[in-house]
Amino acid sequence: MGRPPCCDKIGVKKGPWTPEEDIILVSYIQKNGPGNWRSAPTNTGLLRCSKSCRLRWTNYLRPGIKRGNFTEQEEKMIIHLQALLGNRWAAIASYLPQRTDNDIKNYWNTHLKKKLDKLQGNSDEENHHHRRHSDSKGRHSSPSSETTMTKGQWERRLQTDIHMAKQALCEALSIDNKSINLPDLPTSPSTATYASSADNIARLLPNWMSSSKKCSQMSSESFETCQTTQTQSSLINQQFQSPLSEGYTLQFGSNNNLNHNNQQKNYCSNYSHSDASQSFSAETSVFQDESKPNMTDQMPPLSFLEKWLLDDAATQADLMNLSLEESNFF
């Protein structure tokens, strides 16, 4: 007997969000700030439940989200952290501020898990079993929740976990001899991939537009003209240019990996540019405080255990001959 749903099932819209809905939500958050999700649907008129609004914001609309291909650094970071923390995606995401937990979770499930399986095979039965256990149990696999274990069992398990974490870390370290795989910082404006909420919405447009041809119902007033190309995307970008994005190269419509082939696809839009730009004119300045911040300042403090693991592993790294690179891991 679970709790009743957070909102009435009747009249609640499900499925993909439209840019219109995105704008409404972002405008609302611009005025009221994130939080108080309960009142968001009623105040905005969105036919979405509060959880859906929150999820949309945290996973896609929030400023500072990096999307697209994961870098090798990020991969290594995730692999290490997953070994260390298990499937605690939110915790892992806190070490990769530009990525969402959902993103990391999906990437793990669709890419990294396969890579690791391929690499490790089934030879290491113990590790395999452990990993599966960790995967299936997720957050319940933490030592503190192993209520049925005796203290001795728990300690042995902890030792094993620490050993595995060390191993994973050493493997990660052995790839490029960098002491710690800190996330790649936006070192220069030309390479940065930070995006504001407006950018996020703009970036989502091509995908949405390409699919919208099926949604012929799309309000004809709102989406009237159909055009081809990236010119429009760059136009939108310009319209959505925000203080935060000004210093950075925007992903949308440029040489990014995000849009894949979609950039080449046709899409329709009127997306009421003027309104949108108005709506977003001050948006990022409001959200800058809220967004996930600069990595150097924001790198969460390592726990004692993590510090110890990292320090210990760093000293061992030079001694290690393990090279995942040599084993064609990447």
Partner DNA sequence: AAATTGGGCAACCGCCTTGCA
Partner DNA sequence: TTGCAAGGCGGTTGCCCAATT
Enumerate the β-bridge partners of residue 268.
Answer: 226
Which is nearer to DNA, 49 or 317 (by Cβ)? 49
**Closest CB 221 distance from DNA, rounded Å:** 22
Q: Nearer to DNA by C-beta: 87 or 239?
A: 87
DSSP state of 267: E
CA distance 132 to 31: 45
Q: How many CA atoms lie within 13 Å of 78's alpha carbon, on the beta-carbon side?
A: 29
Cβ distance to DNA smaller for residue 110 or 187: 110
Q: Which one, 16 or 143, has the nearer CB to DNA?
A: 16
Closest distance to DNA from the beta carbon of 154 (Å): 17
Q: How far is the CB of 137 from DNA (least distance, A)?
A: 6
Joined tokens for residue 248: 């950075």
Nearer to DNA, 106 or 298 (CB): 106
- What are 188's two structure tokens? 């220069």
Q: Compare residues 3 and 151 and give the one whose CB is closer to DNA.
A: 3
Task: Name the residue with tokens 């925007």.
Answer: 250
In the complex, which residues of this chain contact DNA (CB under 7 A)?
2-3, 5-6, 13-17, 35-38, 48-52, 54-56, 58-60, 67, 87-91, 101-103, 105-107, 109-111, 114, 135-139, 210-211, 214, 261
Q: Where are the alpha helices (DSSP H) in the chain?
A: 19-32, 39-44, 50-56, 72-85, 89-95, 101-107, 113-120, 125-137, 151-176, 197-212, 231-239, 243-246, 273-280, 283-287, 295-298, 304-317
Q: How far is CA 217 from CA 212, 224, 266, 271, in A?
A: 9, 11, 17, 15
Residues in contact with 253: Cβ distance below 8 Å, sequence separation at least 6, in sequence order: 230, 233, 234, 237, 259, 263
Shortest Cβ 201–DNA spacing (Å): 11
Least Cβ distance, residue 81 to DNA (angstroms): 11
What's the min distance (Å) between Cβ of 31 and DNA?
Answer: 15
